[in-house]
Amino acid sequence: MKWLKPALVVVLASAGGAQTTDPAQVIAELERELAAHIRLLADWGGLTRYGSENTELILRPNADRVVFLGDEITEMWGRGKTKFFPGKPYLNRGISRQTTPQMLVRFRQDVISLKPKAVIIQGGSNDLAGYSGPATEGTISENFMSMTELARANGIRVVLASLTPVCECSPGTQGITLRRTPGKIIGLNGWLKGYAARSGSVYLDYYSVLAEGRSFKKELTVDGLLPNDAGYEAMASLAERAVAQKRKGRAPAAPSR
């Protein structure tokens, strides 16, 4: 792949798609993009990511288990100083760059088969960015509805997490709000909140504590997309309350669309 590097830098520079003052940084980003596309072709739904770990967990059931299903916002939780709910039977099932149709494909393996008490579903931002093709609020909402209905049919309580805000608030973040426009994020969050109420699910509002106006608070984000340790700490307290709230309630009837 080394022979591609000079050509890729030239192409990117001529397209005006990124900062090219640091070729090493550009090349690293291009290599990450290439690796992501290779993974997508080899395993579109991400079924191999947690397959072996799930097999072991199925043999050790836990009545208080909670699964966090999501994209990189979930996957990166616990990689810094803020750990992922230490000592609790909470499972991180996040996969970077995933969209809701991919999450739906692995929902049985990564959620239902683990027999959790509850699932927290976090996603949609990468759909808006077009990572697995064009997406609308309608197609995204259908995926959330399908996951909710699958969980409900298997006696799993549902928490629907809001999309988190974005911002162009540090070097290298130019273009984030073009792929994930604040208006579309707010619109999808409005739908999620309404559907949670209609379906008897809990709406987990990460957005309100992470946003300032319509942008990610600079002090709570690493790169305009991912939360930092302080951001994850704020999210953790909200998630704990949502899980506690869902545990108290009885599983409602089938959700209304």
Tell me what the mean pLDDT of segment 211-217 comes to.
Answer: 96
Question: With bands split at pLDDT 50, 70 and 90, how would you rate the model's confidence at 201?
Answer: very high
Q: What angle do CA 196, 191, 94 make, to 5 degrees?
A: 70
pLDDT digits (tens, 9 = 90+) for 167-178: 998 777 778 889
Tell me what the mean pLDDT of segment 240-245 comes to.
Answer: 93
Tell me what the mean pLDDT of segment 235-247 comes to.
Answer: 91
Rounded to 5 degrees, what are φ and ψ at 11? -60, -45
pLDDT at residue number 23:
78
pLDDT digits (tens, 9 = 90+) for 56-105: 999 999 999 999 999 999 999 999 999 999 999 999 999 999 999 999 99
pLDDT at residue number 253:
40
**202 neighbors 152 (Cβ within 8 angstroms):** no
With 60 as the cut, is the pLDDT of residue 152 above it? yes
pLDDT digits (tens, 9 = 90+) for 133-149: 999 999 999 999 999 99
Burial per residue of 189-223, b for 16 or more beta-carbon CB atoms within 10 angstroms, e otherwise:
bebbbebbeebbbbbbbbbeebbeeebbbeebbeb
Where in the chain are the domains?
4-42, 61-248
Number of H helices, E strands in the chain: 12, 7
With 50 as the cut, is the pLDDT of residue 16 above it? no
pLDDT at residue number 6:
40
**Domain 61-248 grouped into CATH 3.40.190.10:** no
pLDDT at residue number 199:
97
Rounded to 5 degrees, what are φ and ψ at 223? -145, 20
DSSP string spanning 179-231?
HS-HHHHHHHHHHHHHHHHHHTPEEE-HHHHHEETTEE-GGGBSSSSSB-HHH
**Token pair of 221, please?**
């984000």
DSSP string spanning 89-135?
-EEEEE-TT--HHHHHHTHHHHTGGG--SEEEE---HHHHTTBTB--
Tell me what the mean pLDDT of segment 106-112 comes to.
Answer: 98
pLDDT at residue number 91:
98
pLDDT at residue number 251:
42
pLDDT at residue number 12:
42
pLDDT at residue number 28:
67
pLDDT digits (tens, 9 = 90+) for 22-31: 677 667 667 7
